Structures are given as C-alpha cells and as structure tokens.
Structure 1
C-alpha cells in the first residue's frame, strides 16, 4: 500500500496550492482529482487576481490586505500568467456609490496595498473617456482608473500543479475517492482510477473539494460532522464583441451589485452573478435568468451594441463556478469570502476547507501547512515556495504524462 504524509483531495487551485506548499516543505504528498486539474470552479472564475475592492463595503479589511499581498507575489512568481491591467470605475449621476465614496475606497485600497505601485489611482479627464469605447456617457460624471490583475485561471492552476509534481507530488486525475477510514494515526483512503481500485495510507487528509466538500465527508468512517453551507453560482458570458482595453467595474442597474466587463482572448467577458442553488449538479450551467441579467447590464452600459435579444446572438460561450459560503439568510453578495478551515476533535487527521478565493490560494495553503506541521512535525524543506516561479507545462500532454 502506498504511504504518504499528506493526501489532498481536490485538484482546484486550493488543492494544488496545498500540495505545492506541503511538498516544498519536505512532506510526501499525493493529490486526487476526480476530473482534470482546474476543471471545475477554479477554471470557471472571473479570471481576476485582485484585492477585492468591493469587500471594503463589508469591512473585510484583513481579506483585502491579504489579497493585495498575494497579488503582488503572483505578479512576481507568475509573470507569464498573471498580468497587471487597468480597471475603470465609472460613476453616474444615479450611481449608489458616489464619487466621494469611490475615491475614499480607492484611497484605502492603495493604503492596504502597502504603497505598491499598483495601489495608485487617478481620475480620468473627460477627454480620456473615449478610451472606453462605446460606454454609455449619459449621466456619466466621473471615471476612476486603478490597477489590479488578470489571469487564465485554469492555466495558473495547472502551473501550480506542475510545480507540485516537480517537487515530488503524485497526482491522480480522473480518480474518485470511495472511502476514508480515519484513525488516530492517519487515514486509509480507497479510490478508483480508470476502473482500478487503489489504497493510500496518509498521515493527514486535506479535503479541498470546493462545492463538494461535504459530499467527501459523507464517505468518512467514523461519521464526521460538516458545516452548513450555501452554494452560490457565479455565471459568465463570453460575447463576440471587441473588448475595452481594461476591466470595467460596473454597478448593476437592477440590484446595484458589482459586475465586471473585461477582455478575454480578444472577446468580451461579462460576469458574475450570485445565484443560490438548492442542489448541486456535477456540471453547473448558466440559467436563462442569469443570462438575461448579464445581457441587460451590458446593454445598459453599451447601448450601441444592441438590445438584449440582439446581444444574445453574440454569446459564444457560457460558464459558471460555484462558491461555498457559510449558511446564512443574508445577501450572498455581502457574505464573507475568506477560507474557513474546519476540523473535529474526533477526527484530528482530517481537515476540510470551506470557501476561499483564487487570489489568496497561497496564503490559505500556508495556513494549512501550519496545521500539517502541528499534526506531523517538521520535515526538511526542499524548496522555498516564495522563490519558485510558476510556469505551465509546454502542453497538456506533457502535464498528463506526469500525473498518475
């Protein structure tokens, strides 16, 4: 039977980040993913590495500070995958967030970035508004420009997994965990891959299954408690429309939520939504209501592009991810976005992750690594993750050749 110190279940950005950090710290690591690496929510995000300007509204200052720090790190570690881009925040006469509020928020954003060069912002003159081709100018009073970053989330996920593999991690794609037998000194994990049954003895197991976190806990013996959660779907539309040179931070005229309009491989990407789900399918799909909501927003801000029915003909792709949020009766848009680590005294060798953000996957991995050290003791580190460049494999076939 194969034995490892750390077994990670889930090959999204959280799981591959944990695998990389643990392997660099000298632990033997395996990772099991039931589909492809980065196939689910981590490959269907809004493609942004950002501090979360809107989180200032709910005073999640620690999360914003942490996100801005991680943005700076990823720009340095993955320059071919994470790129600084201009963000534009137009303020209209009837905007709920006025110019003074936005200016104050951007000033705090810059302060929390610890005076990073990307923390600077400015107000565009009216003569510069033309760079936002087609943006509705009726009632437009002010346009702020600040900086954040964009990434190809799936490629970034593969790059982190690639780094973990080079550090010795065994990765098993298209593998399904059937059962986890927990004991005081570790866990025995049974899984299937391509019809073959396998068993791994692990010192600790990290449940990084994202929206399916509680489904994995149902396969643990003895029975373990789970947290109550909400599934919140975020939908995106890709329009066959030339994009603006930068990301637009827009207030929905319907419910005042924030929606992004951004460039994506020569087309325009619009997202996201906050739709609570009552059940979770293996392949979440954009609903008709979500599509109409996003198209209505785009038609409102870019009236020359056509009405909703005309814009629908320009939709070339749709995708959505599902976030895990703590169960609450409140508005999903204002719910906390930080990662929650959950353990039980009865199961000291099992850790489950709830929630989290693409931007902060490294800080979450560092917190998990602290927990691993507390359970297993230190190992002799083999690499410094803060100095490891993140580059994707030359092609997918090369990546697949490295996995189990």
Structure 2
C-alpha cells in the first residue's frame, strides 16, 4: 500500500487553503441521484483531457471500487487513476488522458453517498445492480453526448463482483432500450468473483514464494478447508466468519503479510487486526475497508474536496456510513458470481480479467482457478493459447496477456491489488488495449 507520511504532513496546509482547491484541466461534473427513497448515490465525472482528441472520440469508463464500502470518488480518484493525486498535483498516469472517467460512490452509503434510513442499505449484488441502473438511466438521459461513445465498466476487488452483475443487467437494459448507451464491456481487476477460490489458494501461493513453511502451509490449508465446508453447506455467514479466521492464520504464519501487496510486510502487532477483540465482521471491515480510509485521505475528502463540491449535505461525512455498508452486505461476501461472467460471455459482452502478481487477497492463482470453471465454449481454446509479453519500455516486461473472442486476461507484473497505484504506466496501456485504442 502507498505510504502517506509526507502527504499527511502537507494536508494541514491544503486544508487551510481549501477555498483554492484546484480543478483539474479536465471538465468536471458531479451530482447526486436518488436511486430509491432515502438512498442517494454520488457520482463525479471527468471529461477526457486528450491533447489531440475530443472527449466524444474517446470512451467513457465507469470505475467501481471494492470493499464493499470503499469510495471510488476518493480512493480510486485521488490514489489511483484520477487527474490529481492526493497532493492535488497532476497525475502523469491518469486515465483521463485516454477516456472520460465516471467515479461512483457505490453501494449507497459509500463515500459521499448516503442513506437516510438503515432499511435503505443494500444487502446483495442484486440490490446494488438495481440502484446502479437507476443512476445510469439518469446519467445517460441527461447527457446524450455520451450515449454513442463506447462505455466500459472497470472495477477493482469487490467492485468486480458488482461490475459483472451490473454489466449483465445493463446489457439487457440496452437491448430493451430502457437505457440508451453504447455498452462495450467490463474489466474485472483483482476481483472477488469466486471468494472460495481465493481462500483455497492463499496457502499454496504463499508457500511457493517462501512466505510459508510446511507447518504454516498446513495450518493455512486447514483454515481454508473449514471455509470450504461452510461454503459447501450454503452457510455463507459462517463461511465469512471462517474467512476472517483464515486471514488471522495467514498473518500469524507470515509475520503480518500485507494482503494487498505481499512485498509490503507489516509485522507491527499494533497494526494487526484482532479477531478475538473485534469479532470477524469488524475485523474484516478494519482490514479491508477502514485501513484505506487513511487520515490523510479522510482529511482531504472531508475538508478541501467537500468545500469544492458544495453539494454534500451537512449531515453527511465522507466514509461515515462505510461500516454499515460492509455489515449489511456481509451475507453476500462468499457468494460467487462465476455464472454471471458466463452469461456475459454468452451474450457476447466483452469481458477482461486483470490481476496483480503481488496481490494476496485475490491472488492470481485463484483467479485462474475460477476462469477454468467457466462453461464458456471458447475456454478450451483460450486455455491452450500462449500468453504474450507486454512492455512499457523496451527493457521491461510489464505484463503478459492473452485473448480469445470476447474474453481477455492480463497478468500484471510487480503490482499488488491496486494495479494503477503500483504500475500506472502498464495500467494505462491496458486501458488503451481494452478500449481498442492500441
């Protein structure tokens, strides 16, 4: 994960001058959509800022963050692909150079999105999908200039699970003409498509890179097997609790490996999450959502950015409802959506999977495992193909990829869970390839 010590020392200065927070060079818009009674979803759009092409000649990309409960308008925007970084300086590898970018704080309650009643929180990907279709219908109707440009859904982590379901429903909505847009495909980055395949491969992956000894491998595998047994019984709540236990076993045996980049070890006991003290759901939330709502990002979003946007209700705090988002979605955590990916492929929707080599929480071995479970007729041919190297400089192999028909897979080297933050140039190259600009 990125170190923010320097940024934290600068943020008080930024906050004092919050009235002069810069806009990017790109044209920007933002607003709320009330997707249901009491459920308000926030979005933030950057028009493409390309030196030679008008935005209408470039694709529109919607970015969905994970968690669930992590803010795309905050994390994805300022720490990964937006035009400005967390110091509010131009990002050299911003995706706005090659596409218009639509960030959405999704599900409702995430980031600047909010609900006015506990009953309005989503509980599964079906709820999330229904809300997103309301937002997209409103967005494309109000901005007809985007109805004909290719529209892609890119995602990260749990956002990939949401992106697959949203993509399938959007495809059907376009076919029925209830939404007018040029839907071009989904890209699933380090995505929680098949949680069990991730958990079951943690041990073998860590052992293969000398981060577990044989005894540790055995302990992790035993913990993962318990998750599988609960999963096989259909007891998803228990499987989630046991998933948290398995993560604790991994941390104990690896001296605190970072689940988002295995090279960023964190052995400090004070930084580890205690399952015994907090319970499984709170531990999972602290490990996978709360830790990324760092003080510096929180101060930026609730200070200068809030003042810039001017439309955030006084009662709403950026990230203030993220814990509730996570808890209400907990029954959905361990449910796979491999079947939805199969349906996307059967409908001839373009599907891209991309994964960071150094990711653990959604390790590449687990991604390959669920891909092999697809019933897609093109899978045997895809499996038999050789991958090809990709370069961002002549002397640096940055990734491998292969594609067949409407399915592609990118293996991104030297990157963890947050690929654009770790390998910005390669992520930008992948964006151009997926959107047929390279």
On whether the aligned pair clears a TM of 0.5, the verdict is: no
Larger relative contact order (CA 8 Å, sep ≥ 6): 1
Give the TM-score of the pair, scaled to structure 2.
0.22
- Higher strand proportion: 1
Larger radius of gyration: 1
- Higher helix proportion: 2
Give the TM-score of the pair, scaled to structure 1.
0.24
